[in-house]
C-alpha cells in the first residue's frame, strides 16, 4: 500500500501515490520487477468520470513514448491514454475487460492498465515527474478545473 500526497480542491479529494513517476498528462509508471506497470492517476480518473469501457492495446504492441496505449470511454468522454514510456505491451490488466470501473475505485492499485517491457526505462523515468512535482502540477490543474464548475 503506497503512501499518498493528498489535496482537497472544492469538494474533491485528489491523491498522488509517492512510490512512482508521472507524466504531465496524468499517467503513472511504476517499476514492478523488470517491467513497468502503468495506469491513470486519481485526478485523471476523477476528471473524466465513471469508466464504461477500457480498451488497452494488446500484448505485443510496440509503443513510443506518448503513443496511445489505451482508450477509455467514460460517462463524460473518450480519453486517449498516452504511454509514459516506450516499449512493448507485455500484459494487459484482465480487469479492464470485465470490471474497468476498477480504474475509478483503485486507480493506483487494481485499476492498473498494462505492464510494459521498457525499451529504455532509465531515460524515460528521468523525463517523468516525481510525485512532488506531479502533485504540484495536478493541484494547479484541479484548481483550474474547479473554476469551470
Partner 1 sequence: MSVAERTVMIVPCSGIGKTYGTVSREAAYEVTEDLRPRSTQLVALSLLVLGDEEARAAVGTHPTITIDGCKLGCAEKMVRESGGEVAEGFAVLDVYRRHRDLKPDGIAELNEGGQQLAHALADEIAAIVDDLASRDEGGHHA
Judge residue 76's burial from the number of C-beta atoms within 10 Å of its C-beta, 0-12 exposed, 13-18 middle, 19 or more buried.
Answer: exposed
Stretch that binds partner 1, among 5-13, 22-30, 50-58, 126-134 (CB under 8 A): 50-58
Of the ranges 23-31, 45-53, 130-138, 141-149, which one interacts with partner 1 (CB under 8 A)? 45-53
Asked if 101 interacts with partner 1 (CB under 8 A), we say yes
Which listed residue (10, 50, 59, 97) binds partner 1 by CB under 8 A?
Answer: 50
Q: Which is nearer to partner 1, 88 or 104 (CB)?
A: 104
Consecutive H or E run containing 98: helix 95-98
What 3-state DSSP class applies to 102? Answer: helix
Grid cell 526505462 is found at 121
Q: Is 75 a residue that touches partner 1 (CB under 8 A)?
A: yes
Q: How far apart are CA 111 and CA 24, in angstroms?
A: 19
Q: Which stretch binds partner 1 (CB under 8 A): 49-57, 59-67, 115-123, 135-143?
A: 49-57
Which of 65, 88, 104, 139 is in the footprint of partner 1 by CB under 8 A? 104
Q: Contact 61/43 with Cβ under 8 angstroms? A: no
> Residue for cell digits 492495446?
57
Q: Contact residues for partner 1 (CB under 8 A)?
A: 49-50, 52-53, 75, 101, 104
Amino acid at each position: 500500500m503506497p503512501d499518498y500526497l493528498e489535496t482537497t480542491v472544492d469538494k474533491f479529494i485528489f491523491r498522488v501515490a509517492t512510490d512512482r513517476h508521472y507524466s504531465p498528462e496524468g499517467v503513472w509508471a511504476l517499476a514492478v520487477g523488470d517491467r513497468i506497470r502503468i495506469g491513470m492517476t486519481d485526478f485523471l480518473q476523477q476528471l473524466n468520470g465513471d469508466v464504461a469501457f477500457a480498451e488497452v492495446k494488446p500484448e505485443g504492441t510496440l509503443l513510443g513514448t506518448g503513443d496511445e496505449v489505451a482508450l477509455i470511454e467514460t460517462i463524460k468522454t473518450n480519453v486517449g491514454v498516452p504511454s509514459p514510456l516506450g516499449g512493448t505491451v507485455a500484459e494487459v490488466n484482465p480487469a479492464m475487460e470485465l470490471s474497468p470501473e476498477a480504474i475509478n475505485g483503485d486507480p493506483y492499485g487494481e485499476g492498473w492498465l498494462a505492464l510494459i517491457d521498457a525499451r529504455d526505462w532509465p531515460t524515460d523515468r528521468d523525463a517523468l515527474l516525481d510525485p512532488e512535482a506531479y502533485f504540484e502540477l495536478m493541484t494547479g490543474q484541479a484548481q483550474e478545473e474547479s473554476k469551470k464548475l
